[in-house]
Amino acid sequence: KQGLLTDRQKEVLRYRKKGLTQQQIADIIKTSKANVCTIEKAALENIARARDTLEFLYTQIGRAHV
């Protein structure tokens, strides 16, 4: 089973955290800047969906225990 993020998404986010631009990352991983943008966008969307899911679950669990 695959996790929340692909290995490539994690790699791109690690480079971004280090302050690299999308073009710099593209050069390092041998792809286009547009592809790095797509990878980063998908990663951030996955993270947002996970946050929304956790918020929903915590809200529902909290109500169930009241």
- pTM (2 decimals)? 0.81
Q: Quick one: pLDDT at residue 3?
A: 83
| Number of neighbours of residue 28 by Cβ within 10 angstroms | 13
* CA atoms of 3 and 26, how far apart (whole Å): 23
Taking every pair of Cα atoms in the chain, the longest distance, rounded to a whole number of angstroms, is 53
pLDDT over threshold 70, residue 66:
no
Looking at residue 49, what DSSP letter applies? Answer: H
Q: Quick one: pLDDT at residue 24?
A: 98
| pLDDT tens digits, 6-26 | 999 999 999 999 999 999 999
**pLDDT class of 65 with cuts at 50, 70, 90:** low
